[in-house]
Structure 1
């Protein structure tokens, strides 16, 4: 695959989780999260997005979200669980994206706020219509997704490199 290949990054915030006095990392999905995650998967499938690679935080709620999302996709992509995604800043997430092989065309990242929302905003140098305003006004709720396209290698991912082409949340 050429470095001039159009690529797509799908940023998915985990589904709604239970509140707990226990470790934040170990929080499971709430009932609403277990209902919303498959809906997110159906949206991805309906949009014709099947990632080549999914990078998922190691937190329980992100792993549970991904399990429910991927069950709705026509095929299961290679999945890597990466502890660096948990509580990552946009810069840390960009560093993870920069490491990816240029054989990957479409990548899905399952993570957490505020990092996922901030990353979607930072990467989106352009947006279709009022998508950027809609995304920022909505605050990137649980199970929300932003789709950012760019041309170039994964090493070239940086602030403003992409175009926000889709934004979806289950209760929009």
Structure 2
């Protein structure tokens, strides 16, 4: 794959989590989160994006979100569970993306707010429709995802490099 070909970054926030008496990292999905994860997976499948790699936080709620969403995809990408995604800032998430091998064209990152929402806004230099307004209207709720495109090496991912081409969130 040439670095001149457009790449896609899908920033996917974990679905709604429950609040049992466990540490934040160990919080599981709520029933609503389990349903929304499957719906988000179908929406990702409908996008037709062939994912080469999934980078997922090690938190229980992100792992459960991805497990339910990936089941809906026609092709299961390689998944890497990355501790650095948990509670990461946008800059820390960029550092993770900078390590993606250039043979991966399309990457989905399953993480947490405020990092995922912040990263979507920072990477999106321009947008082609009302995606940015929709993304910012409700603050990137649970199970939402943003699709950004860029051209170049993963090492070149930096603020303003991308174009926000789609945004989806589950219905209330």
TM-score scaled by length of structure 1: 0.98
* Counterparts of 2:128 and 2:65, CA distance in 1: 27
Cα distance in 2 between the residues matched to 1:72 and 1:131: 24
- How big is each residue's C-alpha offset from its partner over 1:54-113, in whole Å with a ceiling of 9 and x where there is no partner? 000000000000000000000110000000000000000000000110000000000000
Aligned partners of 2:128 and 2:17: how far apart in 1?
A: 31
SS of 2:35's equivalent? helix
Question: Unpaired runs of 5+ in structure 1?
Answer: none
Aligned counterpart, 1:107:
107
Q: Distance in 2 between matches of 1:121 and 1:164?
A: 9
Tell me how far apart the structure 1 counterparts of residues 8 and 38 of structure 2 sit (CA, whole Å). Answer: 21
Moved segments of 4+, more than 6 Å: none
Query: Which runs of 5 or more structure 2 residues have no equivalent in the other structure?
Result: none
Match of 1:142 in 2: 142
In structure 1, the partner of 2:31 is 31
Within 1, Cα distance between the matches of 2:84 and 2:104? 20
Q: How far does residue 128 in structure 1 lie from its aligned partner after superposition?
A: 1.4
What residue in structure 2 maps to residue 88 of structure 1?
88
Contact 1:44 1:50 in 2 (8 A): no
Is the counterpart of residue 13 in structure 1 residue 13 in structure 2? yes
After superposition, the CA RMSD in angstroms is 0.9
Tell me the TM-score normalized by structure 2. 0.98
